[in-house]
Structure 1
Amino acid sequence: MSRIRETELYAPVKAYLEAQGYLVKGEVGAADVVARRGQEEPVIVELKTGFSLQLLQQAVARQRITDLVYVAVPRWTGKAGWRTFKGNVGLCKRLGVGVLSVDGASGAVKAHADPAPFTPRKSKRHRAALLREFERREGDPNEGGMMRETIVTAYRQDAIRCAAFLAENGPSRGRDVKAATGVAQATTLMRDNHYGWFEKLDIGVYGLGNAGKSALAESKGS
């Protein structure tokens, strides 16, 4: 299906607003669409073939005229399109901008968000996890912007401490590793073996495998 043009969004959006009792006109001043219903605050809709920084900038600029600003874009296609669209709806909510989608085949218009002041809900769980990682991590081993796979976390630092102890002392009981390294969850960490570094040799006894030796050498060289 060919890409829908901005002008093809106008008729469905106009019909959608007219069905709600609005008088609608296109290209009024700097706005793509302006709608009035009696003496109520005017509604402005900016039309675009997709989300972009320019579209959001235009919508925010229109908020100097009215609080009732929407953006209208073609309906997404596929799961990836929906994920991207959903993320953009969340961004628009934070900006206090409404979102309309237009189905290019049927012309159906759906409102996914209405203009409203936004108060973000803080996640106590995510905040606690972030601060816990910050406090547990030793030093500043990562440069901001690194690939996630190479980031040294507090968990990895604990694993390296356990590996270093085993490399120096040989197979050991988890409680001995804990006492020597200060890693409170040493036994659990070695049992879970997230990185594949450790080998369980007996009940509660762990040794360092080849992968652990290589990782330990790399950590000393970095």
Structure 2
Amino acid sequence: MKESDLYPPIKAFLEGQGYEVKAEIGAADVMACRGDDPPLIVELKTALNLNLILQGVARQALFDDVYLAVPQPPKWTHRYKDLTALLRRLGLGLLTVRGGQVEVHLDPAPYQPRQNKARAGRMLREFQRRAGDPNTGGTTGVKRMTAYRQDALRLAAYLSKAGAASPSACAKETGVTRAAAILRADHYGWFDHPGRAVYVLSPIGRQALQESAPPSE
């Protein structure tokens, strides 16, 4: 489908909404007006891509109501979902055309993000709890050093010296307030539990200490 193939169904769709529609007005592919309503701009492309989005943003310098129009993809991939999320953030509308029919996916509107306060809180707590800056930004496929792992290493280092200890003793000596939860969960397999309220370091834990030293305060 060519860009020009998008125009007839877009024009018919807008005229069905009571707009007067004209093509190639200034830099805009399509401009539509209806009574006292604000003018509406539509930019046409054969695919939803960065060039089209940039065109839409440029038209927003002229009018508030700007749509992007593309052929309906055979399948909405994650890439298209990411792009539509970007359009929503930018306040751009989205139309798709298939078989001469137009579908409205997004209407232009000011973006009002909903912040995920729970997730933001977890990130802030992780930042505050993590000792130093043990990771390198931008790396992939490497083991991350988290605040949880740092606390587990503190406990492992203490148990390697103490031999065996209770969760309360571990918490007191290491300053890890969540020692009991970490020992009980044994997320990394570092801790053995030979008796009630007693933990010792496992062979896996000893190996982990050789690979990663506990963080310094």
- Once residues 9 and 201 of structure 1 are traced to their aligned partners in structure 2, the CA distance between those partners, rounded to angstroms, is 72
Answering whether residue 175 of structure 2 is matched by residue 182 of structure 1, we say yes
Greater displacement, 137-146 / 23-32: 23-32
1:144 aligns with 2:137: yes
Equivalent residue runs for 1:1-222 within 5 Å: 4-78=1-75, 81=77, 83-103=78-98, 106-147=99-140, 149-220=142-213
Shift of residue 149 of structure 1?
4.9
- Shift in Å at residue 127 of structure 1? 2.4
Root-mean-square deviation (CA), in Å? 2.3
- Distance, in Å, in 2 between the alignment partners of 1:38 and 1:133 is 55
Give 4+ residue runs of structure 1 displaced > 4 Å after superposition.
Answer: none
* Partner deviation per Cα, 1:70-129 (whole Å, 9 max, x = no partner): 1122334446x1x333322221122111112223xx333222221122222333222222
Secondary structure of the equivalent of 1:111?
strand
How far does the alpha carbon of each residue in 1:143-162 deviate from its partner, in whole angstroms, 9 at most, with x for none?
22222752211111111111
* CA apart distance, 1:221: 10
Query: Normalising by the residue count of structure 1, what TM-score does the alignment of the two structures yield?
Result: 0.85
In 2, Cα distance between equivalents of 1:16 and 1:204: 72
User: How many angstroms does 1:58 deviate by?
Assistant: 0.8
| Separation (CA, whole Å) in 2 of partners of 1:120 and 1:69 | 20
Counterpart CA distance in 2 for 1:165 and 1:85 is 50
The one-letter amino acid of 2:17's match is Q
Displacement of 1:177 in angstroms is 1.3
For structure 1, the residue ranges without an aligned partner over 5 or more in a row are none
- One-letter amino acid of the structure 1 residue matched with residue 6 of structure 2: L
| Distance change >3 Å, CA 9–CA 215, structure 1 → 2 | farther
- Code of the residue aligned with 1:56 in structure 2: it is I
8 Å contact from structure 1 (residues 187, 204) kept in 2: no
SS of the counterpart of 1:150? coil
Structure 1 residues 127-173: Cα deviation after superposition (integer angstroms, max 9, x where no partner): 22222111111111122222275221111111111111122222322
Q: How many residues align?
A: 215
Name stretches of at least 5 consecutive residues in structure 2 with no aligned partner. none
